Amino acid sequence: MQIIHSILIANLARLLRSFGRRMIERIWRLGAAARLFFLTIIYSGESFRRFHLTLREIYFTGVMSLLIIIVSAFFVGMVLGLQGYNTLQKYGSSEAIGVLVALSLVRELGPVVTALLFAGRAGTAITAEIGLMKTTEQLSAMEMMAVNPIARVVAPRFWAGVISMPILAALFSMVGVLGGYMVAVPLIGVDDGAFWSQMQANVDVRDDILNGVIKSLVFGVACTMIALFEGFDAPPTAEGVSQATTRTVVISSLTVLGLDFVLTSFMIVV
Amino acid sequence: MDRTTIDLWVGVFVALGIAALLGLAMKVGNLTSNKIGDTYTVSAAFENIGGLKPNAPVKSAGVVVGRVADIKFDTKAYEAVVTIKIDERYEFPKDTFANIYTAGLLGEQYIGLEAGGEEDYLKNGDKIAQTQDAVVLEKMISQFLYNKAAEPSADEGAKASDEKASNAKSTELGDPPF
Amino acid sequence: MTSNIVEIDNLSFGYKGRLLHKNINMVFPRGKVVAIMGGSGSGKTTLLRLIGGQIKPTHGQVRVDGKVVHEQNRDGIYKLRRTMGMLFQHGALFTDLSVFDNVAFPMRELTDLPEVMIRDLVLLKLNAVGLRGAHQLMPTELSGGMARRVALARAVAIDPNIIMYDEPFAGLDPISMGVICDLIRSLNDALGATSIIVSHDVKETFLIADYVYFVANGEVTAEGTPHDLMQSTLPFVHQFVHGEKDGPVPFHYPAASYQAELFERTSR
């Protein structure tokens, strides 16, 4: 009995210790990420002075994500249209489907799903690219050439992500609304005028659309920074880079969902 | 990829983004219908505003003429003081009536203005004297139940008179002639 | 102006209490090719990083052109690095840029030269390493030897005073090795620069080096001209230079007695 007891305590202690170690590791990484963020802001001047560097990254993060964003948005909009109609018509208010589709997209799904897709499409690419640059000593080489890798590599990617995200989110919302329209009006037969007029009467430019843009901006900062940090912090091995890429997706997704709750609770307060 | 081609694509991308934002603002949002230019402010006191919220529409004859700017509670009169901003293009007589209505059975609440007949118009800072409170569903239901509860007495009265009448009839008809 | 462009004084460096280098003293005279040799893991590459100011010494100092590297602020270090070129072990070419853009990179980043002049200079450098014809290829399309040559062209792109080579011969076929070997010597003499070679390839290094330092167990164990070292009777140098399997550097990683370990296994 005594032995079982002591084994239990020993195991518990080990568990606590490893938990504590992991928490300290997390906090350490958080601090390092914050430092990278501040350095990125400080050294951003150069990436603005030579804007073609940022333009190039907008091409890789933004333009290359267009297809996945537009296709997903269309399907999400269509599903919203179908599900919304299915529920609303029970209450005899199928005309409100436009409102439902537009508000869900503009307030939540647009910014959030875009950020999740962005993390999967562009975030992983950023992490893998920077991790590989580190593994193959390209960052080291840059430093030895007296070129600051944060100014030359990190900052342009950061601003490209921050600029691309709201654009992608706006596109997502707009295409999603069109998808919902396609299902509701030609397919189901909801009145065309009612669809748009109800939507316009209930979607506020400041409360809904502007807040959606603010959300996507915040998500843009978070997702891009996480991807950059994971790449920068990856152990310089093939395994390290692959794990960092996975972490980018996991951490970005959780951060986006958590931030969404926080931002929404700020925005909903009247 | 050539630098110029990238520029082109990024240009297309940004243009698409701006178009989507404009589309959201114009087609999905209420930017076009929400345009209130210069306004003047009037206030109105209500005993109960129900679920009225700031920025709720102020309508007259169904047309949006303004928005609720602010809602305060007056601790002296124990009333809600609602400040509303009305578009300068629309003028209302001093004896205009302010109601709180509900759009649909469960919809959002708005203020309806019904113009009176006076010749002087409301000016900035004026107070609308005649108001009618929001219809509170609970109140309505309790009133309904109260009425319902009050009815049986009337019913009984009717029954009693019926009986009387039938009695009268029966006496009239069934009275055996002695 | 001293005759030594780089001087390492009493340098110690280590991570978390474990010293990688102990009291290292080295001098690198102007215009010479100096080699640092030693087994894998003896901290040769770390010495280059210390010279480049990427890491700070635990004790002692590194002076480049009379300036103590670790006392410089960020701008000072960057200023010093502009006078250095470095060839990384695996080339470290920027994989998203073409050969031309790789060589042009330091010029575009560090100078305000017009694009026309950059073009001429890049072609000049590429011509020097014999790869002018490959200027529009991407790094992934190059063989190992070609990539090393492009990296060399990039390292000398802005005419550095100090050129550092990290294992320039590792993993190359004999022909490429010979080419790189010649290039290091000829570039050094043409630019009037000082070359620091970190390597464990005895034959090639001895061919071009003016002076050689041997590093083992974190200390300079031997130094001298290649000719002197070939004759050296020091056991470590002898083992290294002649590539003998066993000697002061043991073949076996420290372990318990083989017999004991076998017995332990069977008895369990």
**pLDDT band of B152, cuts 50, 70, 90:** low
pLDDT attached to residue A254: 95
Domain ranges within chain C, ordered by starting residue: 4-232
Contact A222, A260 (CB under 8 A): no
In Å, how far is A142's CA from the nearest CA of chain C?
9
Contact across the interface for A145 and C105, Cβ inside 8 Å: yes
Expressed as residue numbers, the domain containing A159 is 43-268
Decide if pLDDT at C32 tops 90. Answer: no
Phi, psi values for residue C258, rounded to 5°: -55, -45
Dihedral-angle region of residue C167 (phi above 0 means left; psi in -120 to 50 means alpha; beta otherwise):
left
Q: Name the packing angle between helices A238-268 and A110-118 (round to 10°).
A: 170
pLDDT digits (tens, 9 = 90+) for A126-181: 999 999 999 988 998 898 888 889 998 999 999 999 999 999 999 999 999 999 99
Kindly report the number of other CB atoms within 10 A of residue C155's CB atom: 27
- Taken in order C166, C32, C43, C247, the sign of the CA dihedral is positive
Q: What SS3 class is residue C163? A: strand
Contacts of C89 in chain A (CB under 8 A): 137
In the sheet with C33-37, reading across from the earlier edge strand, the strands are: C84-87, C162-166, C194-199, C33-37, C211-216, C219-224
Average pLDDT over chain C, rounded to whole? 83
Residues B141-155 have a mean pLDDT of: 76
Residues B2-6 have a mean pLDDT of: 69
Contact across the interface for B20 and A102, Cβ inside 8 Å: no
Q: Are strands B39-46 and B127-128 parallel, antiparallel or unpaired?
A: parallel
**pLDDT band of B171, cuts 50, 70, 90:** very low
Residues B61-89 have a mean pLDDT of: 86
Contact A233, A135 (CB under 8 A): no
Percentage of chain B with pLDDT > 90? 1
Q: Give CA–CA dist B97/B130, Å, rounded.
A: 5
| 0.85 surpassed by complex ipTM | no
User: How many domains in chain A?
Assistant: 1
Among chain A residues, the shortest Cα distance to C90 is held by A136
pLDDT digits (tens, 9 = 90+) for C210-245: 898 888 877 888 888 888 888 777 777 777 777 777
Q: Give CA–CA dist B20/B22, Å, rounded.
A: 5
DSSP B121: B
- For residue C153, CA distances in Å to A174, A246, C143, C191 come to 50, 37, 15, 12
Residues A95-123 have a mean pLDDT of: 92
Contact across the interface for B1 and A173, Cβ inside 8 Å: no
Chains C and B touch (3+ CB pairs under 8 A): no
In Å, how far is A39's CA from the nearest CA of chain C?
13
pLDDT attached to residue B38: 79
Q: Say yes or no: A132 contacts chain C, CB-CB below 8 A.
A: yes
HSE toward the beta carbon, residue A108, CA cutoff 13 A: 14
DSSP B93: B
Mark which residues 54-73 of A lie under 8 Å from B by CB: 55-56, 58-59, 62-63, 66
Of C139, C82, C133, residue with least CA distance to C107: C82
Residues B29-49 have a mean pLDDT of: 75
Q: Give CA–CA dist A103/B28, Å, rounded.
A: 9
Residue C211 pairs with which residues in a beta bridge? C34
Q: Distance from first CA to last CA of chain B, Å, rounded?
A: 123
Contact C50, C62 (CB under 8 A): yes
Q: Say yes or no: B4 contacts chain A, CB-CB below 8 A.
A: no
Q: Say yes or no: A192 contacts chain B, CB-CB below 8 A.
A: no
Percentage of chain B with pLDDT > 70? 76
Contact B22, A213 (CB under 8 A): no
Buried b / exposed e over C176-205, threshold 16 CB at 10 Å, is bbebbbebbbebbeebebbbbbbbbbbebb
Contact across the interface for A146 and C54, Cβ inside 8 Å: no
Q: Say yes or no: C105 contacts chain A, CB-CB below 8 A.
A: yes
Residue A96 identity (one-letter amino acid): A
Tokens of residue B138, six digits: 């609970």
Spell out the alpha helix ranges (H) of chain C.
44-52, 74-81, 99-110, 115-128, 144-155, 174-191, 202-208, 226-231, 235-242, 258-267
Residues C94-114 have a mean pLDDT of: 89
**pLDDT band of B39, cuts 50, 70, 90:** confident
Contact A195, A99 (CB under 8 A): no
Contact across the interface for B7 and A173, Cβ inside 8 Å: no
Spell out the alpha helix ranges (H) of chain A.
2-42, 44-49, 51-61, 66-88, 97-103, 110-118, 124-135, 138-144, 149, 155-182, 192-202, 211-233, 238-268
Radius of gyration of chain C (CA): 21
Contact across the interface for A147 and C93, Cβ inside 8 Å: no
Among chain C residues, the shortest Cα distance to A46 is held by C109
Q: Are strands B79-87 and B127-128 parallel, antiparallel or unpaired?
A: unpaired
Spell out the alpha helix ranges (H) of C40-193.
44-52, 74-81, 99-110, 115-128, 144-155, 174-191
Percentage of chain A with pLDDT > 90? 60
Decide if pLDDT at A78 tops 90. Answer: yes
pLDDT digits (tens, 9 = 90+) for A35-47: 999 999 999 887 7
Is A218 within the bounds of a domain?
Answer: yes
pLDDT attached to residue A168: 95
Q: What SS3 class is residue C166? A: strand
pLDDT attached to residue B163: 53
Q: Say yes or no: A185 contacts chain B, CB-CB below 8 A.
A: no
Contact across the interface for C81 and A146, Cβ inside 8 Å: yes
**pLDDT band of B174, cuts 50, 70, 90:** very low
Q: Say yes or no: C92 contacts chain A, CB-CB below 8 A.
A: yes
Which chains pack against B, by 3+ Cβ pairs within 8 A? A
Is A193 within the bounds of a domain?
Answer: yes
- Taken in order C199, C200, C202, C203, the sign of the CA dihedral is negative
pLDDT attached to residue A224: 96
In CATH terms, the fold of domain C4-232 is Rossmann fold (3.40.50)
Give Cα C91 to chain centroid, integer Å. 11
Whole-prediction pTM value?
0.76
- For residue A11, CA distances in Å to A1, A3, A5, A31, A45 come to 15, 12, 10, 30, 52
**pLDDT band of A269, cuts 50, 70, 90:** low
Q: Give CA–CA dist B87/B78, Å, rounded.
A: 29
Residue C253 identity (one-letter amino acid): Y
Decide if pLDDT at B160 tops 70. Answer: no
Contacts of C77 in chain A (CB under 8 A): 146
Buried b / exposed e over B56-95, threshold 16 CB at 10 Å, is bbbbbeeebbbbbbebeeeeeeebbbbebbbbeebebebe
In Å, how far is A23's CA from the nearest CA of chain B?
40
> Residue B30 is nearest to which of A52, A171, A201, comparing CB atoms?
A201
Q: Give CA–CA dist A128/A248, Å, rounded.
A: 10
Decide if pLDDT at B170 tops 60. Answer: no
Residues C182-201 have a mean pLDDT of: 87
- For residue A261, CA distances in Å to A210, A248, A254, A268, B124 come to 17, 20, 11, 10, 41
Contact across the interface for A146 and C79, Cβ inside 8 Å: yes
Mark which residues 149-208 of A lie under 8 Å from C by CB: 152
Of C78, C43, C42, residue with least CA distance to C57: C43
Q: Give CA–CA dist B21/A210, Å, rounded.
A: 9
Cβ neighbours of residue A84 closer than 8 Å, sequence gap 6 or more? A97, A100, A101, A180, A184
> Residue C88 is nearest to which of A133, A141, A148, comparing CB atoms?
A141
Average pLDDT over chain B, rounded to whole? 77
Residue A95 identity (one-letter amino acid): E
pLDDT digits (tens, 9 = 90+) for A208-261: 889 999 999 999 999 999 999 999 999 989 999 999 999 999 999 999 999 999
> Residue B24 is nearest to which of A58, A201, A209, comparing CB atoms?
A209
Contacts of C156 in chain A (CB under 8 A): none
